[in-house]
Structure 1
Amino acid sequence: MFRLGARQFSTLPPKSSTPFNHVKSLGPLNHIAIATKNAESAADFYRSVLGASQISPKVEQSDHGVSTVFITLGETKIELLEPLGDSSPISQFLEKNPAGGIHHICINVANLQASLDKVLEHKIRVLGKPKIGAHGKMVVFLHPKDCGGVLVELEEN
């Protein structure tokens, strides 16, 4: 337990059953994805203002309807997502959030199928079938309504 002002917090994980309690393959956070209208100008902010150490070239991911730029900021990876046309899911996100913002988080898993089996067992909806993601590895997205309002991407590593 620790205190922050008048509030008390537990440092132990909750004992409730979660979809990943029995999946030993769950790994660390892979990246945070941010939707933006212009990935190159967003990357410039991370470089010039925040001192990003590595910024990848912009790459079209036509299967996903986006261009991506990956940024290394300390120990954190950020994926900038720029839409490739009006039918891109990122275009739809930007219509609702014109300034852009956090689109999803990505978590590494050792075995995507085992993780997928577990989330389906817990009735968590999956958005589409697993497919090759921006890193060239298998990914799948979990419905935000089943994940506390957060779009979660699982990536096999």
Structure 2
Amino acid sequence: MIGRINHIAIAVPDLAAASTRYRDLLGARVGEPQALPEHGVIVVFVDTGNAKVELMAPLGEDSPIAGFLEKNPAGGMHHMCFEVRDIATATQRLVAGGARVLGDGRPRTGAHGLPVIFLHPKDFDGVLIELEEIGEG
């Protein structure tokens, strides 16, 4: 059901500093900051060629990653995103198998303008999983 890893998201306390480290020390191609108010984050994507790294920082005090950074002040891996062809079918299959979809269970628009859902980390060995619909491409 899942396809390739689309990105690994890392919560960071300072987005500009993290972006600079990835660009200057690792020689990575680093995109521009993108505010996602509906998700409460600001993100920068680092293109590694075969997948992306999403650096993310809180956008506002009610950001869902603020609590993560309180527990992990230096930052750390927040979630993994896998591509799926059909998010509705994937969601139905997951729920039927006992997985919990976070939120109201309906896809939201993600950073790439595509439908996404998040799966409860307790159902996947402590890892928050994001699924992003890529269609039939």
Bucket of the pairwise TM-score, normalised by the shorter protein: over 0.9
User: What corresponds to 1:13 in structure 2?
Assistant: none
RMSD, aligned α-carbons:
0.9
TM-score (norm 2): 0.93
Aligned to 1:114, the other structure's residue is in SS state: helix
Greater mean deviation of Cα atoms: 139-148 or 124-133: 124-133
Aligned to 1:99, the other structure's residue is in SS state: coil
Q: 1:73, CA displacement in angstroms?
A: 2.4
User: What corresponds to 1:27 in structure 2?
Assistant: 3
The aligned amino acid for 1:39 is: L
The aligned amino acid for 1:59 is: Q
Structural mapping, 1:42-81, within 5 Å: 42-52=18-28, 54-81=29-56
Distance 2:83 2:15 in 1: 24
State the identity %. Answer: 48
Q: 1:74, CA displacement in angstroms?
A: 4.1
- Residue 90 of structure 2, aligned match among 115, 134, 138: 115
TM-score (norm 1): 0.81
- Number of aligned residue pairs: give it: 132
User: What corresponds to 1:131 in structure 2?
Assistant: 108
Ranges in structure 2 where 5+ consecutive residues have no aligned partner: none
Greater mean deviation of Cα atoms: 33-42 or 69-78: 69-78
Higher RCO structure (Cα 8 Å, ≥6 apart):
2
Q: Is it true that 1:41 corresponds to 2:17 in the alignment? A: yes
Runs of 4+ aligned residues of structure 1 deviating over 3 Å after TM superposition are: none
> Which has the larger Rg?
1
The aligned amino acid for 1:89 is: P
